[in-house]
Structures are given as C-alpha cells and as structure tokens.
Amino acid sequence: MTRSSSSRPRWRAELGIQVAIAACAIAVVWTFAAYTLRRADEFGLPLEDGYIYLTYAKQIGRGEFFTYYPGGGYSAGSTSPLWPMLVAPFWTLGARGHALVWVSFGLCGALYTATCVGCYRVVRTLAGAWMGVVSAALVLLIAPFAWTCLSGMEVAFASALLVATIVIMLREPAVGPPSKLLAV
C-alpha cells in the first residue's frame, strides 16, 4: 500500500470529525435562533451592545467612520472597531433594518463554528485527536460562551481570530522567519 492511499482514510476521518464538530456548533446556533423566535415576535439580539455595533456598521457603510449618527462627530462608543467594519459591507450591499440583525447573527454563528473547529485543531496538534474532540465538546458545552458569541458583538470574531492565530503559530517552523500568513 502506498503512503498516499494509507493517508486517505486518515484524512477522511479527520474531515469527518471536523464536520461533526461544525454540525454540533450549527445545532447550537440554530437552537439559539429557534428559542429566540419562540419567545419573541421577531428575532433580536439579546444585548443592546449588538445594536450599537450595527449602528456603527451602518455609519461605516455610509462612509462616516467612528460616528454614531449621520453628520455627527467622532464617537468612541464602538470598543471594537473591527467588528462593525466586518458587518458594514453588508449594509452597503443592501442589508437594511432588521436584515442587518440576521447578517450579524449569521456572521457570529459562522465565527462561533470556526472557533469550535479551531479549538479541536489546536488541541489535536498538541495532545492528539481524542483530546481535541474533548476540547471541542467542552467549548460547545459552555453555554455562556455560546450566548456571548451569538449576541451580535465581537466575541465570536475575537475568538475565531485568536484560535486561528494559534493554529497558524503551531504550523510555523521552529527556526527561521515567520510566514506572511502569520504576519497578516
């Protein structure tokens, strides 16, 4: 048996584990949305801060960076300027009003899912596949983490960036200059 054919089942098993973790995270996201819709007339974000970020995203989409209302001066109300910058293009492309809430929630759900899969990959690299699965399960079971990730704020974005940085750092060689990807 050649090396490439023996690594194929391992690759498929690895992909299967990551898909299963992603499916569990998506189930958490779906449950969050379904529960919210069951309790309210329309879907909404649980914290006012999520709507504040959406206001800043709208202003960035209008080309008025760091202002809270049209024609206003500088406002430091957005503690994480990168999150509204990530949401702003969707406002520019037409996600107005309540549609922007769904965009924010969708991005949060995707980033939460990426964080869960990323935690598996980090721990798998350091301690093996079994411990990677355990770590992903623990992240999925921490309800306050899921709630804050899905609240329309920057938590999921920051978590995904942190985990992605660790994954990239674990791939770096021990000697030599860092890769361009790590620099980005």
Cα 41 from Cα 38, distance rounded (Å): 8
Structure confidence by residue, pLDDT tens digits, 135-164: 999 999 999 999 999 999 999 999 999 999
Residue 171: CB atoms within 10 A of its CB come to: 11
What's this model's pTM, rounded to 2 decimal places?
0.90
Structure confidence by residue, pLDDT tens digits, 51-92: 999 999 999 999 998 888 888 888 877 788 899 999 999 999
* Type of residue found at 171: R
- Which residues, 6 or more positions from 127, have their beta carbon under 8 angstroms from its beta carbon? none
